[in-house]
C-alpha cells in the first residue's frame, strides 16, 4: 500500500493550543481517592498526593486539568469541601451513587495542580446551584483580599489568589440524566447571568458554555444554537463531548472515530458561526473538547456492593493496542482544527477510562493510550499544517466517502527547527509505504523515528507487563533524501517522525 502526503509552510491551519493536551479529574470512582490522593500510601507526600501519579501526569505534560466534574458537579456544593477537613460534611453523590467525604476539595486541587505542572479549569454547578454561588466561588478563588470570601480563602491557608482562568458553566445540561437538567432556553439564560456575575469579579477569565453532550443527542445542533443565542456575547468557548466505543466489535467503524469527531467539530463550529451571522458579529466562539476518550468497556454499574462507599471501582477501562490508534487519530483530528479548538480534556486522567492506572496502596502504571498522548503532547505543539494526502481507503457506514487507511498530521515546531509527522496505519494486515514532501522547507535529517505496534490488537499493559510501548523504527525502514521522507509503516501502528529543518 502506497501513501503520499504533502505539507507546505505557506498553508497553515493554525497554532496548536497547548491546552488541547489537558486532563480531567472528577470525583468519580477512584480518580481522586486512591488515584491522585491517597494519604497513608508509601509514596504519598505530606499533602496526601501520590508522588508516583504526579510524575506520570508530568510525563503526559497536561497544561490544564478540568475539575470537579462531570456529572458530579451538578449535585455538588463547593463550600462543603473547603476549610478544616474535620468539619467538612460527607454527602451522598447521587450522580455516581457513592459517598463523597469531601476531604479533597478546591484548595487541595489547586495545590495538586501546582505540583503536577498543570493549571485548574473549574466547572461551576448550574444544575442545583445558582449564579450567586458561582460568583462567590470565583470571589473565593480570584479576589485578592478584603472581601468575605477572599478572606476566608486566606484563613484556609491560601494567601495568594488561585487566579483560575478557565471556567465551565455547568456540565452536559442538555442530558436528562443530569441533576438539574434544563431546556436550552432555561440553561442559556442561567449561563448568561452566571457569566455576567462571574465577570463582575474577574473580567480576564475564559468561560466555556455547555454544548451538546453528544453528537447522538436528538437536540444536537439545535441546543447549541439556542443556548448561544442567549449568551453569545458573554462566553468564549462552546463545550463539545465525544466518547467512542466498539461494543459491536466493528473494528473498521471504531477506527474511523477520528473522522466522526471531525464531523462533530465542523458541525459545532457551524452552530457557533450561525449565531454570529444572525447577530452580524465578527466574534468567533472557540471550541473546548472538554471530555473525550475511548469508553465502552468501563462499567458505571460495576461492583453494586460498593454503592454509597467512597472510591467505588467503576469505569476502570483497560486499553489495548487498537485504542492506541483511535486515541492517536483523535489527537490528530484536534490538530486539524487548531484554528478553532483551544481546549481539550481527556476524561479522565487516573483510573476512570484513563491513561494512568493505580492500585490502592500499590503501584501506578501507564496504559497503552498513555504513550501516544505523551508523545503528541511533547512534540505536537507548534503550527498545524494543511495536508494534501493520498491513501487507499476502506468503506464504513459512517460516511459516503471512504476512510483512509493511513491518517497523518504534520506540525512545524519553529522554536525547535523541526517538522513532526504523526501517522497511523489502520490496516490490520498491510504495511504502508509512506512518502512525505514538505514544500518551502529544507529537511536535513531524521532526528527520531518512533512507532507503537503490537502483533496482537488486543494486547494490554498491566502493572506487571508493558508489551505495548514506543520503540525505535529500524533505520532501514526510514530515509530522507532530497528533502523527501520515505518510511515503511507496520500494519496497525502509530508512528512519529521528527525531522530537522536546520
Average pLDDT score over residue span 383-404: 93
DSSP code of residue 236: S
Confidence tier at 102 by pLDDT (50, 70, 90)? very high
Q: Are 18 and 381 in contact (CB under 8 A)?
A: yes
In this structure, what C-alpha cell is assigned to residue 197? Answer: 456575575
Q: What's the pLDDT score for residue 226?
A: 98
Instruction: Say yes or no to pLDDT of 322 above 90.
Output: yes
- Name 6's bridge partners: 388, 437
> What is the residue-averaged pLDDT of the chain?
97
Give the tens place of pLDDT for each residue, 214-271.
999 999 999 999 999 999 999 999 999 999 999 998 999 999 999 999 999 999 999 9
Span 475-499, average pLDDT: 97
For 283-297, what is the mean pLDDT?
Answer: 98
Q: Give catalytic status of residue 448 as yes or no.
A: no
Does residue 62 surpass a pLDDT of 90? yes
Percent of the chain past pLDDT 90, that is, above it, reads 98
Domains of the chain, earliest start first: 2-10+383-500 (2.60.40.1180), 17-379 (3.20.20.80)
**Which is catalytic among the residues 38, 108, 259, 291?**
291
Q: What is the pLDDT of residue 147?
A: 98
pLDDT at position 400 over 90? no
Residue 186: CB partners within 8 Å, gap ≥ 6? Answer: none
Of the residues 26, 100, 139, 172, only one is catalytic, namely 172
Residue 47 · residue 88 · CB < 8 Å: no
Q: Is 276 left (phi over 0), alpha (psi -120 to 50) or beta?
A: alpha
Does residue 438 have a pLDDT over 90? yes
* pLDDT, tens only, 109-120: 999 999 999 999
Q: In the predicted model, is pLDDT for residue 399 greater than 90?
A: no
- Asked if the model's pLDDT at residue 411 lies above 90, the reply is yes
Average pLDDT over residues 371-387: 98
Is 185 tagged catalytic? no
Amino acid at each position: 500500500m502506497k501513501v503520499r502526503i504533502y505539507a507546505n509552510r505557506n498553508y497553515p491551519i493554525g497554532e496548536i493550543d497547548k491546552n488541547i493536551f489537558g486532563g480531567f479529574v472528577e470525583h468519580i470512582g477512584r480518580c481522586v481517592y486512591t488515584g491522585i490522593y491517597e494519604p497513608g500510601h508509601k509514596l504519598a507526600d505530606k499533602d496526601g498526593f501520590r508522588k508516583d501519579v504526579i510524575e506520570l501526569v508530568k510525563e503526559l505534560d497536561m497544561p490544564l486539568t478540568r475539575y470537579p466534574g462531570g456529572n458530579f458537579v451538578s449535585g455538588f456544593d463547593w463550600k462543603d469541601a473547603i476549610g478544616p477537613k474535620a468539619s467538612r460534611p460527607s454527602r451522598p453523590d447521587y450522580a455516581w451513587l457513592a459517598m463523597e467525604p469531601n476531604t479533597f476539595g478546591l484548595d487541595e486541587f489547586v495545590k495538586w495542580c501546582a505540583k503536577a505542572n498543570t493549571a485548574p479549569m473549574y466547572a461551576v454547578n448550574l444544575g442545583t446551584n445558582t449564579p450567586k454561588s458561582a460568583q462567590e466561588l470565583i470571589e473565593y478563588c480570584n479576589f485578592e483580599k478584603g472581601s468575605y470570601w477572599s478572606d476566608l480563602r486566606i484563613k484556609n491557608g491560601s494567601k495568594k489568589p488561585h487566579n483560575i482562568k478557565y471556567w465551565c458553566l455547568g456540565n452536559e445540561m442538555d442530558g436528562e440524566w443530569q441533576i438539574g437538567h434544563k431546556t436550552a432556553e432555561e440553561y442559556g439564560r442561567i449561563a448568561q447571568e452566571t457569566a455576567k456575575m462571574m465577570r463582575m469579579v474577574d473580567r480576564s477569565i475564559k468561560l466555556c458554555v455547555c454544548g451538546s453532550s453528544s453528537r447522538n443527542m436528538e437536540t444536537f445542533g439545535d441546543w447549541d444554537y439556542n443556548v448561544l443565542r442567549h449568551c453569545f456575547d458573554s462566553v468564549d468557548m462552546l463545550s463539545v463531548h465525544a466518547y467512542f466505543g466498539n461494543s459491536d466489535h466493528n473494528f473498521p467503524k471504531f477506527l474511523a472515530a477520528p473522522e466522526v469527531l471531525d464531523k462533530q467539530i465542523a458541525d459545532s463550529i457551524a452552530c457557533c458561526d450561525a449565531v454570529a451571522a444572525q447577530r452580524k458579529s465578527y466574534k468567533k466562539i472557540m471550541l473546548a473538547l472538554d471530555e473525550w476518550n475511548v469508553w465502552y468497556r468501563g462499567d458505571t454499574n460495576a461492583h453494586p456492593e460498593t454503592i454509597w462507599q467512597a472510591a467505588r471501582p467503576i469505569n476502570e477501562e483497560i486499553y489495548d493496542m487498537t485504542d492506541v490508534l483511535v486515541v492517536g487519530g483523535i489527537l490528530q483530528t484536534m490538530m486539524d482544527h487548531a484554528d478553532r479548538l483551544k481546549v481539550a480534556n481527556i476524561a479522565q486522567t487516573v483510573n476512570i477510562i484513563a491513561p494512568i492506572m493505580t492500585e490502592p496502596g500499590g503501584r501506578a502504571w501507564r496504559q497503552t493510550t498513555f504513550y501516544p498522548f505523551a508523545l503528541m503532547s511533547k512534540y505536537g505543539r507548534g503550527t498545524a499544517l494543511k495536508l494534501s494526502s493520498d491513501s487507499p481507503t476502506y468503506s464504513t457506514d459512517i460516511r459516503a466517502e471512504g476512510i483512509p487507511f493511513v491518517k497523518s498530521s504534520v506540525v512545524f515546531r519553529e522554536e525547535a527547527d523541526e517538522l513532526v509527522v504523526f501517522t497511523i496505519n489502520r490496516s490490520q494486515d498491510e504495511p504502508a509505504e509512506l512518502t512525505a514532501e514538505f514544500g518551502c522547507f529544507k529537511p536535513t535529517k531524521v532526528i527520531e523515528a518512533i512507532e507503537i505496534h503490537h502483533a496482537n490488537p488486543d494486547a494490554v499493559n498491566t502493572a506487571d507487563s508493558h508489551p505495548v510501548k514506543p520503540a525505535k523504527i529500524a533505520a532501514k525502514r526510514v530515509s530522507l533524501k532530497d528533502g523527501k521522507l520515505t518510511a515503511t509503516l507496520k500494519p496497525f501502528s502509530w508512528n512519529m517522525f521528527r525531522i530537522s529543518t536546520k
